Amino acid sequence: MRRLLLVFGVALGLGAQYRGSSWMEPGGTEFVPATGEYEDATGALGIVNADGYMETAGHPFFTPLGTNGRACVSCHQPANAMSLSVAGLRDRWQTTNGMDPVFAAVDGSNCPNLPQRDPASHSLLLNRGLIRVPLAWPPVNADGSAKKVEFSIEVVHDPTGCNTNAMYGLKSENPTVSVYRRPRPAANLKYVTSGGSRILLKNGELSEMDPDTNRPSGMNFMADAREASLLTQARSAVMGHEQAKSAPTREQLEKIVAFESQVYMAQVVDGRIGKLAMPNGPAGLGPLAMRDSKAGVLGDNTYDPVFKKFEMWLTPGEGQMASIARGADIFMNRQFWIRDAAHINSIGLGNPIKRTCATCHNAQMTGQDLSAGWVDVGTTNFPTWTEPSTWAESSELPVFKVTCNKDAAPHPFLGRTIYTTDPGRAMISGKCADVGSIVMQQLRGLSARAPYFANGAAKTLREVVDFYDRRFDMKLTDGEKDDLINFLGAL
């Protein structure tokens, strides 16, 4: 398990370094200090609480509000970049013999009907870090009215048994599609929620509106953009993931949102360099840079890059600083042909288009898409998906056959019949063109929260880079892949 290295408890008046457990349990009495560092795969993750030291006792982010013992912190651990990692989950399984609330049957197991405390029943969480997400079919609007749906869906492969289960599946009394996704970091959220615009670039439609502010939602903090605000997301999480019998109060929800909105995280230590944030070094590294930078900025390739400038480290030689700087240059400036990616090539930019990683990962400081960021780069749809080609025998994830209506606009590159492990945004929008589109995640704290992609298919950053190199024929050399991996690991 990752160990808490340093936490400066200034508000406590402690002169010594604080050392504590790297797994925060719901309902505990631990404190959240102003700054902390946790060991991870390449060095250490840094956490900054902009509001400073606070007690967790009684706080709704850390206190179970439902019936299964979970709290928000169960799936948003500081040591894992306010998300989860497979390494941490496996350690937690061994420590608690599978009894920790994070493994609750409702969605911490592959299906609620499976034998609990059996690792096989929780294989997707233990192997990929995936939480089951049950989505009603067909989808409905926020007011409960029926939503127009442009396709039918059927289950063709069900290794978990949940999508064909009589109680929980697609043909149950309450038809449900279960998909499996990684929890997203509850940190750096001032960036994640910025960028809302009245018109969605992806499809020219009106964006969702935040019901509290009546302003356009950024629609970037969930894999399928189904919630319009952090407050509605928190309410849904308490009612679903925590299995609450009654809705949380407005005060509790506001406290949850206030806390997660002031937490910042980023890699703070590289094992070969030491502290990443240094005088005259790259200005975009470390959690303090996340706290202090402006949200909603579109990074460019020259004057104000996505993760700011790394040229000062771009010196001759084979040192880690130079490698990270070369990786940043590849991310920002290496052009390659992007093709057949829905909501990238299908919105008038051309197919293919010659661009860089930063074309889509353009939001400064996080590397998300500044606009509503759901795209289909091919991780969930056959034939480019991350699953083995012989999916019927070996896929760990369910496979669905989506058949689009004849009067609907087809998927721009896959037509009207699509095989997918996760229909993505289409499960919310009901649109054929959205099948397989997933909202891209922020690129911060990656070393602390493996595995990667929304479906947890990439165990390492090398597998992430290999996927994109293969998918878009980037023609990266092994050395260039190492540089890009070192750059991503430093974020």
DSSP 18-53: P---SSPPTT---EE-SEEEEE-SSEEEEEEETT--
**Range scoring the smallest mean pLDDT among 178-182, 204-208, 467-471:** 204-208
- Say if residues 405 and 441 touch (Cβ distance below 8 Å): no
* Residue 161 φ then ψ, to 5°: 80, -5
For residue 107, what pLDDT is reported? Answer: 98
The residues facing 376 across adjacent strands are 342
For residue 9, what pLDDT is reported? Answer: 36
* Residue 137 φ then ψ, to 5°: -130, 130
Is the alpha carbon torsion for 86, 92, 95, 97 positive or negative? negative
Q: Is 339 exposed, middle or buried (0-12, 13-18, 19+ CB in 10 A)?
A: middle
Give the Cα separation of 415 and 381 in Å (integer). Answer: 12
Give the Cα separation of 71 and 64 in Å (integer). Answer: 4
For residue 371, what pLDDT is reported? Answer: 86
**What DSSP assignment string belongs to 199-234?**
B-TTTSPBPPB-TTT-SB----SSTT---SSHHHHH
For residue 1, what pLDDT is reported? Answer: 39
The residue ranking higher by pLDDT, 169 or 145, is 169
pLDDT at residue 7 above 60? no
Give the Cα separation of 1 and 329 in Å (integer). Answer: 33
The residue ranking higher by pLDDT, 438 or 54, is 438
Instruction: Determine the average pLDDT of the residues in 319-348.
Output: 96
Q: Which of 216, 112, 97, 209 is nearest to 162 (CA)?
A: 112
In this prediction the pTM is: 0.94
In Å, how far are 141, 191, 228, 479 from 220, measured between CA atoms?
19, 9, 9, 33
- Say if residues 290 and 308 touch (Cβ distance below 8 Å): no
Parse the chain into domains and list their residue ranges.
Answer: 296-367+458-489
For residue 391, what pLDDT is reported? Answer: 56
pLDDT at residue 14 above 60? no
Contacts of 139 (CB under 8 A, 6+ apart): 147, 149, 427, 428, 429, 430
Instruction: Determine the average pLDDT of the residues in 244-251.
Output: 97
Contacts of 16 (CB under 8 A, 6+ apart): none
Q: Which of 191, 484, 125 is nearest to 362 (CA)?
A: 191
Contacts of 391 (CB under 8 A, 6+ apart): 157, 382, 385, 399, 419, 421
Give the Cα separation of 414 and 395 in Å (integer). Answer: 20
The enclosing H or E element of 157 equals strand 151-157
For residue 116, what pLDDT is reported? Answer: 95
pLDDT tens-digit profile of 370-410? 888 799 999 999 999 998 876 556 789 999 999 999 999 99
For residue 214, what pLDDT is reported? Answer: 82
Q: Which of 87, 67, 90, 85 is nearest to 75 (CA)?
A: 85
For residue 12, what pLDDT is reported? Answer: 28
- Say if residues 76 and 56 touch (Cβ distance below 8 Å): no
**What DSSP assignment string belongs to 80-141?**
GTTB--HHHHHHHHHHHTT-SGGG-HHHHSSSTTSPTT-GGGGHHHHHH-PEEEEEESS-B-
In Å, how far are 44, 140, 160, 172, 247 from 422, measured between CA atoms?
33, 18, 14, 19, 29
pLDDT tens-digit profile of 449-487? 999 999 999 999 999 999 999 999 999 999 999 999 999
- Say if residues 216 and 210 touch (Cβ distance below 8 Å): yes
For residue 141, what pLDDT is reported? Answer: 83
Give percent of the chain with pLDDT exceeding 70: 95
Give the Cα separation of 37 and 144 in Å (integer). Answer: 44
Neighbouring C-alpha atoms within 13 Å toward the C-beta of 404? 23
